[in-house]
Structures are given as structure tokens and as C-alpha cells.
Amino acid sequence: MIWLLDTNVLIHAVRGRPPGVRAQLQRQSPDDVAVSSITVAELWYGAEKSVSPARKREAWRTVIEPFQIIAFDRDAAEQHARIRYILRHRPIGERDLLIASIALAQNLILVTHNAAEFSRVPRLRVEDWATI
């Protein structure tokens, strides 16, 4: 695995805007791409808010099916505590913090369209496929 996809990257890929995101994702082997359990929770929440939750959940299931889902584990918890302490005076959002913690614990590059927020996390490698 190389890449951990943030929620906004999956949304951009499905919508096809910006077009570079979908194209870059299609160039990757599914074995090199992962999604965090936090992102899955965000996708399911979005589905619940939609007009047709069951249909939306099934659509997201199809999108994420090829990728490994990585859960928040003990190593991620350690990263979370460290990052939260370092950024305590200028924190990032809690779900972003959880996703960043997983990326660091698994030594993955986080792919996001929110690079400015995540760039504040020490040692986190970030790419924005929307700008490629």
C-alpha cells in the first residue's frame, strides 16, 4: 500500500471533478490504495443524509470495494495523541486528525484536497491529486 484516500478524494473521483482525481486513481493498482474506517464512516453518514440512503450506501460500497479498509488501531492512537498535543494551540478537525493518525501509523501518503490543513501535521506526507 502507498496511498490513503481522504473522503474528499473519493467524492471528487465519483463526481469526475476535477477530472485529474479520477484519472490519477484509475492509474493506481487497487493494492496500492487504502481507505480509512473514518472515511467509510463519513461516506455512510453522507448516505444517511441523502434522499435514498440504501442506494447511496450501495454506490459507495461499489466504489470502495477494491481497496483495503484500514481501522484506527493502537499505533494510530499513539500517533493521534502525539499530533493532538503538537497541534493543541492550532488544532485540525477531529476526523482529519484520526485520518492523519492512520496514515502516519501505516506509513502511507495521504491523498486529499485539503492539503493546507493536513500539511500542519509533522511528518505526514500529503498529495493533492486535484492539482496534478
- pLDDT tens per residue, range 1-47: 899 999 999 999 998 888 889 999 999 999 999 999 999 999 999 99
For residue 114, the enclosing domain spans: 3-131
Looking up residue 91, the CATH number of its domain turns out to be: 3.40.50.1010
Please report the pLDDT score of residue 2 as a whole number. Answer: 97
CA distances from 107 to 34, 52, 102, 122 (A): 12, 36, 8, 13
What's the whole-model pTM score? 0.94
One-letter identity of residue 65:
E
Tell me the H-state helices in the chain: 7-15, 19-26, 37-49, 53-64, 74-86, 94-106, 115-118
DSSP state of 52: S
Domain count, the chain: 1
pLDDT tens-digit map of 35-81: 999 999 999 999 999 999 999 999 999 999 999 999 999 999 999 99
CB-CB contact of 36 with 98 (8 Å)? yes
Please report the pLDDT score of residue 18 as a whole number. Answer: 86
Could you give the angle at which helices 74-86 and 94-106 cross, rounded to 10 degrees? 120
Residue 98 pLDDT greater than 90, yes or no: yes
